[in-house]
Amino acid sequence: MEIENHKEQVPFAHYCELWKQLDPAEAAKRCRVPYDETAGELALTMLGVTYWLRWPDFAIRADREDGFALRNIPAQILLMRYLTEAHPAPFGGKFLTFRETPWGEVYLKPFTGRCLNRAAFTFGTRIGAFRAAMEKLGARKLPHGDAAYEVEFLPGLLMQMIVWEGDDEFPPNSQILFSDNFPACFAAEDLVVSADVLIGDCKARF
């Protein structure tokens, strides 16, 4: 795969090398995902799209041509990180703000700028388009804010996005919450990427 964005090229190449060291059978068992030994592919569903990740030389395909991760390198890295490092745990019934997650305080500023502000000004000014896009994602509508939805980001990992529409007095606002089992799978910087991917996928459906 040719990568033109050099900012993404180095981490992508790094994780492709780590991917080669993966034991796919162990990863399938640990993450409870299908593994086709003949094809050398692990299957993983992200935001309703099933991706097949080839091992040992990374390649990706999907059951939909418009799968967001097919053209988004950070999403591909996130899929690799999940399968190489995650230890999935059951949902405990609670949703966490980013600040409440381990090391969330350290990464709060980039999360606020890259995710919360972006979501607020992308969706808070186009509530109708946001609702339509989340419906296309198969999200569950919630009774919060001016518009709010819950999605399954990866198997068993839930995210909630809440948006408040701006007016003459207040700017648009947003909140993104993570199910309490996210920290068993990802570090704080991965949660930033997860929220960024959700926003990007939703925006692509406008």
Instruction: Specify which residues 178 forms β-bridges with.
Output: 96, 159
Instruction: Note the pLDDT of residue 56.
Output: 98
66 and 99 fall within a common domain? no
Residue that terminates a domain, selected from 40, 62, 85: 85
17 and 76 fall within a common domain? yes
CATH code of residue 148: 3.30.310
Q: Please report which helix (H) or strand (E) contains residue 48, including its range.
A: none
Cα–Cα distance, 8 to 21 (Å, whole number): 21
* DSSP-based three-state secondary structure for 30: helix
Q: What is the pLDDT along the chain (206 residues), one digit of tens a residue?
A: 444 556 677 899 999 999 999 999 999 999 999 999 999 999 999 999 999 999 999 999 999 999 999 999 999 999 999 999 999 999 999 999 999 999 999 999 999 999 999 999 999 999 999 999 999 999 999 999 999 999 999 999 999 999 999 888 889 999 999 999 999 999 999 999 999 999 999 999 99
66 and 102 fall within a common domain? no
74 and 107 fall within a common domain? no
Instruction: Note the pLDDT of residue 169.
Output: 87
Instruction: Note the pLDDT of residue 168.
Output: 82
Instruction: Note the pLDDT of residue 6.
Output: 60
* DSSP-based three-state secondary structure for 97: coil
Give the structural domain span for 119.
95-204
27 and 121 fall within a common domain? no
20 contact partners, CB below 8 Å, separation of at least 6: 55, 56, 57, 58
pTM more than 0.85: yes
Amino acid found at 55: W
Instruction: Note the pLDDT of residue 7.
Output: 66
Whether residue 90 is contained in a domain is answered as no
